[in-house]
């Protein structure tokens, strides 16, 4: 993991919603020193903004799932007219996504929204852009500039600049596209700088994960504004997840990126859940709730582990502290793979043995595993809260269960797979 790239922070929200800082490490536009803020998670409502009750309900749901910022589309006047009531009924910073008419941006600012997103491909009249900049400046609102392939304001030296950048990027697969993107950003942001406006975040999304990595990497070298990462039109969750995680994960591991939006052709709640899991996995945010470790199963399995894992996952939602919980199919590799788990179960022939920080606490039939595991998780969480134990703290080395005696008849299968090695395996941190 590389250190976070320092950026000029922006601030989204107000005293009522709480203020989300995006980026940091450089002085802000008022000259105040800053430190990098945790990477935030954004998403966007899928319904119509002018359907106020539904929109508010969706925002509440996304906020409760962990979204730090929620964006709404405002394509029509009736959408910006709905904003005051939506803002009144919600308590998370709201971004108005303006695509087609600069007046929607002015109306959204007037309504009290917390940030504006402009698309240079659609709002490209210099006078109109300046109107929006000045409105945001007066209201002290930041703007995200989301560059895309659409053309923006022409500048005199565009061809020359394209040629220069084209040469710079000639080695990369997306050289010409990158040259266009950088050129567009430069000319669009020039308008902002001329107005002495610097509360800007940048995005440069593409549906191509490799292009996203190249584009944000180049932009991160040329601008000191915080970056909003995303793979656009990533598709259904199943494949969109891979595209998004490979692009955003690569950038974040390289220290690039200050806020993320994963986008799926699905319920945006998954965008929030997967965005948070990505940041937790990289250690960029403090995990909330339990972390589940589970084995993929193999020919040694003797319980219905897939069903058990899904049931445990659903029920673990009630755990608030970041307990590490392991659900392992057998004892051969289970103890080693579950290292560091606070609560773990190792299954055998229709049975499971449960450990709490290395101590064996139960040997139970398969049908009792779920309830007992959850009971141990709840009890352990209560002990952590009372200060009796600490998360990730090992009490004793695990003594691997005897697969022949304690876990039933798995011996023949396991004997062929170095079961003697299991005797040396320990669980937990040393």
Please give the residue ranges that form the binding site for ligand SF4 (CB under 6 A): 295-298, 300-301, 328-330, 332-334
Q: How far is the CB of 280 from ligand SF4 (least distance, A)?
A: 23
Bridge partners, residue 18, by sequence: 14
The distance of closest approach from Cβ of residue 417 to ligand SF4 in the complex, given in angstroms and rounded to an integer, is 7
Identify whether the C-beta of residue 329 lies closer than 8 Å to the C-beta of residue 298.
yes
In whole angstroms, give the CA distance from residue 185 to residue 75: 23
CB of 396 to ligand SF4, least distance (A): 21
CA-based nearest residue to 355, from 341, 336, 365, 368: 341
Point out the residue whose Cβ comes nearest to ligand SF4: 329
Cβ burial of 29 (10 Å; 0-12, 13-18, 19+) is: middle
Identify whether the C-beta of residue 113 lies closer than 8 Å to the C-beta of residue 13.
no
CB of 355 to ligand SF4, least distance (A): 14
Helix (H, G, I), strand (E, B) or coil at 217: helix
CB closer to ligand SF4, 106 vs 303: 303
CB-nearer residue toward ligand SF4: 43 or 333: 333
| Phi then psi dihedrals of residue 8, to 5 deg | -85, 115
Smallest separation, CB 67 to ligand SF4 (Å):
34
176 vs 306, beta carbon nearer ligand SF4: 306
Return d(Cα 365, Cα 371) in angstroms, integer. 11
> What DSSP state is assigned to residue 7?
B
The residue (of 172 and 297) whose beta carbon lies closer to ligand SF4 is 297
The residue among 217 and 426 lying less far from ligand SF4, judged by its C-beta, is 426
Taking the complex as a whole, the smallest distance from the CB of residue 377 to ligand SF4 amounts, in Å, to 20
Q: By C-beta, is 22 or 332 nearer to ligand SF4?
A: 332
CB of 25 to ligand SF4, least distance (A): 42
**Torsion sign, CA atoms 325, 331, 334, 340:** positive
Q: In 10 A of CB 423, how many CB atoms?
A: 11
The least CB distance from residue 319 to ligand SF4, in Å, is 23
Pick the closer one to ligand SF4 by CB: 182 or 309. 309
**12 vs 419, which CB is nearer to ligand SF4?**
419
Task: Render 149-209 in DSSP notation, one character per residue.
Answer: SS-----TTHHHHHHHHHHHTTTSTTHHHHHHHHHHHHHHHHHHHHTT---EEEE--BS-H
């Amino acid at each position: 993991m590389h250190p976070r790239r320092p950026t000029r922070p922006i601030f989204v929200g107000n005293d009522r919603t709480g203020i989300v800082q995006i980026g940091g490490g450089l002085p802000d536009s008022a000259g105040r020193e800053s430190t990098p803020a945790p990477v935030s998670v954004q998403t966007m409502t899928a319904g119509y903004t002018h359907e106020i009750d539904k929109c508010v309900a969706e925002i509440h749901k996304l906020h409760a799932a962990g979204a730090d910022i929620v964006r709404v589309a405002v394509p029509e006047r009736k959408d910006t007219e709905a904003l005051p009531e939506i803002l009144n009924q919600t308590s998370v910073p709201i971004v108005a996504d303006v695509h087609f008419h600069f007046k929607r941006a002015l109306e959204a600012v007037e309504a009290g929204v917390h940030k504006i997103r402009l698309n240079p491909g659609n709002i490209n009249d210099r006078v109109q852009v300046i109107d929006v900049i000045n409105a945001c400046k007066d209201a002290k609102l930041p703007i995200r500039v989301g560059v895309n392939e659409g053309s923006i304001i022409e500048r005199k030296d565009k061809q020359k600049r394209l040629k220069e950048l084209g040469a710079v990027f000639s080695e990369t697969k997306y050289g010409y596209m990158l040259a266009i993107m950088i050129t567009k950003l430069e000319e669009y942001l020039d308008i902002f700088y001329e107005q002495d406006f610097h509360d800007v975040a940048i995005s440069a999304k593409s549906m191509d994960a490799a292009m996203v990595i190249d584009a944000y990497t180049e932009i991160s070298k040329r601008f000191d504004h915080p970056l909003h990462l995303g793979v656009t039109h990533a598709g259904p969750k199943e494949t969109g997840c891979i595209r998004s995680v490979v692009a955003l994960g690569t950038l974040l591991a390289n220290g690039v990126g200050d806020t993320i939006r994963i986008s799926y052709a699905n319920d945006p709640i998954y965008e929030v859940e997967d965005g948070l899991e990505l940041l937790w996995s990289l250690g960029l945010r403090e995990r909330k709730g339990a972390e589940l470790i589970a084995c993929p199963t193999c020919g040694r399995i003797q319980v219905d582990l897939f069903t058990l894992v899904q049931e445990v996952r659903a029920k673990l939602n009630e755990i608030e502290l970041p307990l590490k919980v392991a659900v392992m199919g057998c004892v051969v590799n289970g103890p080693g793979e579950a290292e560091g788990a606070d609560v773990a179960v190792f299954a055998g022939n229709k049975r499971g043995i449960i450990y709490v920080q290395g101590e064996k606490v139960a040997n139970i039939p398969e049908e009792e595993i779920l309830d007992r595991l959850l009971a141990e998780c709840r009890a352990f969480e209560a002990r952590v809260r009372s200060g009796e134990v600490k998360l990730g703290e090992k009490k004793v080395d695990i003594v691997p269960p005897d697969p022949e005696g304690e876990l039933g008849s798995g011996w023949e299968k396991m004997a062929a797979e170095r079961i003697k090695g299991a005797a040396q395996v320990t669980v937990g941190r040393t």
